[in-house]
Amino acid sequence: MQTYIEIKNKKVPALGFGTFRMQGDDCLKGTVEALSIGYRHIDTAQAYANEEEVGRAIKNSGVNRDEIFLVTKVTPRNFSKNNFLTSVEESLKKLQTESIDLLLLHWPSDDETNKAAIAQLAMAQQKNYTKLVGVSNFTLSQMEAARKEADIFCNQVEYHPYLTQNKIRSYLEQHNMLLTAYRPLADGKILNDSELISLSEKYSRTPAQIILRWFIQQNGVSVIPKASDANHRKENFHVFDFELSRVDMDKIFGLNKNERLVNPSWSPKWDD
């Protein structure tokens, strides 16, 4: 059974379904199936070019919209005052909903542009286009600046056992904010790690299940693995009926290498 995180009196499903790089029918069918399995946290973005498929999937799933924690992200090219709210309205139309649960800025820009985008984010919340607002890929200083302008609920960042985001995690926990982890399986790189294989054998679970369980047992952390394969979608969801010991949790934290997989040319200067 799904577990929930409570942040600022809001409940968020700890395990979500990421749709990055899922397109067309694959996204439509995959999201419908994810909802049928029990996923109730769905993550998309304007830049993924699949909001329409996600919206159709939710409609076709038979799951009540109120049961789903739906997240999308505004791409930086829409940060301007002229484009921001119009782009969000277009996202809502594609997603076939009057309001989403969490709206994020997908990547930071320069300080002045970020400030303007945060103001627009707050405006989207005032218009009830979204219940909650947040950011993605923001550094500590960028988050601090954002918090002065709006009630920032979340920072969605790359986070996996080889990149444990200690500073970001500490900051978010201190300020009672959600951390959503993307690329949690490090694109499969960590699945052959000897430590994880050992834990896999100990708990009679797959390495992926061990890692996702590690995330779920952390305070204030949600995780959104992408699974284009039907078996992996089911496997990833079956992580609620066992528990890792504190010692084994620490073993996984000990795998940290500060190794980033996501570092495009527009990335900020990271606070590793």
Please identify every residue annotated as catalytic.
48
Which of 80, 104, 99 lies closest to 89, judged by CA? 99
From residue 37, how far is each of 114, 123, 231 by CA, in Å?
Answer: 37, 35, 11
CA separation, residue 113 to residues 76, 110, 120 (Å) = 9, 5, 11
Report phi then psi at 221, rounded to 5.
Answer: -120, 125
Q: Which of 210, 206, 220, 204 is nearest to 251 (CA)?
A: 210
Provide long-range contacts, Cβ within 8 A and 24+ apart, for 125-129: 125/150, 125/151, 127/85, 128/98, 128/99, 129/85, 129/88, 129/89, 129/92, 129/99, 129/100, 129/103
Work out whether strand 4-7 and strand 10-13 pair parallel, antiparallel, or are unpaired. antiparallel
- Mention every residue, 6+ apart, whose C-beta is less than 8 A from residue 65: 58, 97
Give dist(CA 47, CA 89) in Å, integer: 15
